[in-house]
Amino acid sequence: MGNYKDAHFRSIIKSLSWRVFATLTTILIVFAFTRKLVLSLGVGAVEIVVKLILYYFHERIWGAIPFGRKKHPLSDLSVSDSIKKEDLEIIKDKLRQLGYINEE
C-alpha cells in the first residue's frame, strides 16, 4: 500500500467508467417499467450528469478522510528530491537486511 492520493484525473476517469455502467442499468430499468425508449434515454441523460458530479465530490471527500487508512511508517520522512533508481535499490536491500521486506 503506497502513500498516494488519487489525482483529480483518476477520479474523473473512475467516475466516467462507473457512470456508463450505472446509467445503462438505469435506462434498462426505466425501459422495463415504462417500455418508452425516449423516456428511458432522457432519464439516463439527466441521471448521468447529476450522479457523475455527485460521485466525483464523494470520491474527493473520501480521499480526504483518513478513516480506515493505514499510515505508512516512512511517510513522515521529508525527501528533498526524487529518489534515484540506484538509491531505491540500496534502500530496498537495507530493508531486506533489516527483515522488513521479503522481496526476492
Per-residue confidence (pLDDT) for residue 74, from 0 to 100: 78
Whether the per-residue pLDDT at 87 is higher than 50: the answer is yes
Whether the per-residue pLDDT at 1 is higher than 80: the answer is no
Q: Which amino acid is at 12?
A: I
Which set of grid coordinates corresponds to residue 94? 537495507
More confident residue, 25 or 5: 25
Mean pLDDT computed over every residue of the chain: 87
CA 25 from centroid of its chain's CA atoms: 22
pLDDT tens by residue, 46-86:
998 898 899 889 989 998 998 888 887 778 888 888 888 89
* Alpha helices by DSSP H, 1-104: 8-34, 37-64, 85-97
CA 10 from centroid of its chain's CA atoms: 6
C-alpha closest to that of 31 among 44, 14, 21, 17: 44
Alpha-carbon span 70 to 87, nearest angstrom: 25
8 Å CB contact between 55 and 18: yes
Per-residue confidence (pLDDT) for residue 60, from 0 to 100: 93
Whether the per-residue pLDDT at 7 is higher than 90: the answer is no
Residue labelled with grid coordinates 489525482: 7
Confidence of residue 44 (pLDDT cuts 50, 70, 90): very high
